[in-house]
A and B are shown apart, each in its own frame.
Chain A
Amino acid sequence: MVNPKAYLAPEVFAKDVKKTPTRNGYGEGLVIAGEKNPNVVVLCADLSESTRSEYFQKKFPERFVEVGVAEQNMASLAAGMALAGKVPFISSYATFSPGRNNEQIRTTIALNDVNVKIGGAHAGISVGPDGATHQALEDIALMRVMPNMRVIYPCDAIEAKKATAAAAEIEWPVYIRLAREATPVITTEKTPFKFGKAEIFWQGKDLPAQAGVTIIASGPLLYEALLAASKLQKQGISAEVINNHTIKPLDQKTILASVRKTRVVVTVEEHQVAGGMGSAVVEMLAKNFPVPVEMIGVQDRYGESGKPDELLEAFGLTAKYIIQAVKRALRRKR
């Protein structure tokens, strides 16, 4: 059942669940950050509407900087601005930032350890018809491997708003991963959000030892994980669904507490399984509490053009596939 302390949207399982893209939440979060802190500046590389950084531009035109199609320059301009005392957010598509400008981020932001935030929109295959070149599937890996860098992947627009505002308050480089498509609004304003703290969104029913599983999801696919959990419940399988919005640093405590009960894990993300959130979980479990893990994600291939729904289905990322993965995982349970 839904964890009552998560205060999820009451209509979350309704057919007409409200849908908003997480990038909208990013735009709103920028405005909140800008209101709170006069040092917040926003940079954009010719994608102000798509990244929703235009929300900030409209409110604080004097703190908005358009750099043109120049993501590498943007990353290091931001590093310079941070060194001059500002809190810059750089906005583009994830394939270009942190993709195109990866080394600039590595040296001038992460190694330098300056207070720059990176908003990467259009992450995942759900970008749809634009095709593989625009569907970032490796950005979590690129970012989480860098020392000093923090990584947040919000599950919906409300959480993206909170995450963006929160990013402005922590003095670390932060990567915020965002999606293009409108996705279900799972949370409410009351849902707890604390940077670095994973939340249990669906509680397993007493988790009988043989039928319990921990599903760890990041980003909008968390919705599919919740759908899977509610269906599994009807089949007598008890899942605990964790919203793992902060991929780095990983909330070991919350994850381990659940996995110690269930002793089996399914991870869910719209990213290559290599190097993504699931990898981060597996690395942590291997060291602390090795258990069988099934990973839902993109299996070492590029995306392609198509409708977002079509692609999620073709790439095996919907509730149906999560349920299959849970059953595979349970069979492997020791």
Chain B
Amino acid sequence: MGRFGIIGELIPFMAKKQYSLQELDKIANEIRQDIIRMLLEAGSGHSAGPLGMADVFTALYFAVMNHDPKNPDWEERDRLILSNGHICPVRYAAMARAGYFPLEELKTLRKFGSRLQGHPERKKLPGVETTSGPLGSGLSQAAGMAYVAKYIDKKNWRVFCAMSDGEQEAGQTWEAAMFAGKNKLNNLTGIIDRNNIQIDGYVEDIMPLEPLRAKYEAFNWNVIEIDGHNIEEIIDACSQAKATQEKPTCIIAHTIPGKGVSFMENKFEWHGKPPKPEEAKTALRELRAIGVKITGIRE
């Protein structure tokens, strides 16, 4: 039980604001702008993956997860493991927007002394749950947590594990999938960023994953495929996962890497580089135009 007993555990529920889909789209758009600004300031880092996952992270932090930004260690919180640590800018931006730390701090990404390490570190920043970057070890940790919640401590908190499609190539991912399937970890939801890019090229060229759905199904998972840019679909899929008994759920989120910035979209070359100043300007202009479309309001 949390520090404030029963009441403390209820606070996040009571305080949890219900956002409209329009508001969520707006937040995702702001997060994308944050990502561009952070990467520009850092001068290194990954662009495509974070932009592509902005809608998923918005849905998780602002609609799906039971969490308390002011109390990141709250015992009853849902856990979000980011397995593909290199997309941490999207997590940092979502966390800052959710109130975990000041937006100002986003500027320190990748700098000496920052809590926002180039790849997320548990011991530096409260709320990141675990250290990641080396691919393929997130799902195991998520399954370990889910196992404790379900079988040992008998708790209701849920575990989410964001993964990339590239790391589906790592054997450990399937060791974890097998474990979760065997143990019917229905409190575990994996979300795969199915953007079809990795570093050396398109995933389906480097090491084809298809049929990915059938693979997870064969490992005794419930699989839901969604448009990873449709926040309503993301939220619905997470609700379905919660309602599923006896099986973990894998949400295959079809996304566009670099989403929202025309010159980055679908280009694996943008996997691991930041925008240059001129490119960032263009990117921010494009994203602001999308923001106007969402809200109809000019800033």
Contacts and interface: CB of A to CB of B under 8 A. Distances in A.
Contacts of A73: 171
Place the interface of chain B in its size category.
20 to 34
A46 B134 contact: no
B69 interface: no
Interface stretch (B115-123, B143-151, B221-229, B284-292): B115-123
Interface in A291-307: 304-307
Interface in A34-74: 44, 46-50, 66-70, 72-73
Interface string A122-148: 000000111111100000000000000
A310 B44 CA distance: 16
B268 to A, nearest CB: 10
Given A68-B207, A69-B169, A304-B112, A133 B132 contact: yes
Contact of A133 (B85, B198, B199): B85
Interface of A: 44, 46-50, 66-70, 72-73, 95-96, 99-100, 128-134, 304-307, 310-311, 314
Contacts of B166: 46, 68-69
Interface in B125-154: 131-136
Contacts of A130: 44, 110, 118-119, 133
B270 to A, nearest CB: 14
Main secondary structure, interface of B, reads: loop
B171 A134 contact: no
Given A69-B170, A129-B42, A49 B113 contact: no
Interface string B146-166: 000000000000000000001
A314 B112 contact: yes
Interface in B156-206: 166-167, 169-171, 198-200, 206
A66 to B, nearest CB: 6
Nearest to B45: A129
B131 A129 contact: no
Nearest to A307: B112
Contacts of B199: 46-50
Contacts of A95: 134
List 9 A-B pairs, minimum CB-CB distance, nearest first.
A306-B112, A68-B207, A133-B133, A68-B169, A131-B118, A129-B110, A131-B117, A130-B118, A133-B119
Nearest to B132: A133
A306 B112 CA distance: 4
Given A68-B169, A133-B131, A133-B134, A305 B114 contact: yes
Contact of B110 (A66, A69, A131, A133): A131
Given A134-B118, A310-B112, A70 B207 contact: yes
16 contacts: A47-B200, A49-B199, A50-B199, A66-B206, A68-B198, A70-B169, A70-B170, A129-B42, A129-B118, A130-B119, A131-B110, A131-B117, A133-B121, A133-B131, A133-B134, A306-B113
A307 B132 CA distance: 20
Contact of A305 (B118, B171, B200): B118
A92 B198 CA distance: 15
Nearest to B170: A69
Contacts of A72: 171
- Of A48, A131, A311, the most chain B CB neighbours within 10 A belong to A131
Given A49-B199, A66-B206, A129-B42, A305 B110 contact: yes
Interface string B198-221: 111000001100000000000000
A131 B44 contact: no
B200 A66 contact: yes
B38 to A, nearest CB: 12
A302 to B, nearest CB: 9
Nearest to B168: A69
- Of B131, B166, B200, B207, the most chain A CB neighbours within 10 A belong to B200
Contacts of A49: 199-200
Nearest to A73: B171
B245 to A, nearest CB: 33
A137 to B, nearest CB: 14
Contacts of B110: 129-131, 305
B112 A134 contact: no
A15 B42 CA distance: 27
B198 A46 contact: yes
Contacts of B171: 70, 72-73
B2 to A, nearest CB: 30
A89 to B, nearest CB: 16
Nearest to B88: A131
B169 A134 contact: no
B111 interface: yes
Contacts of B134: 95-96, 99-100, 133-134
Contacts of A66: 200, 206-207
Nearest to B110: A129
Contact of B133 (A67, A68, A134, A311): A134
A297 to B, nearest CB: 20
B175 to A, nearest CB: 11
Given A49-B200, A69-B166, A130-B133, A306 B111 contact: yes
B176 to A, nearest CB: 14
- Of B118, B132, B166, the most chain A CB neighbours within 10 A belong to B118
Contacts of A50: 199
A49 B201 CA distance: 11
Nearest to A100: B134
Interface in B272-292: none
A69 B198 contact: yes
Given A50-B199, A131-B110, A132-B117, 6 more contacts: A44-B200, A67-B207, A69-B169, A100-B134, A130-B133, A131-B119
Contacts of B112: 304-307, 310-311, 314
B108 to A, nearest CB: 9
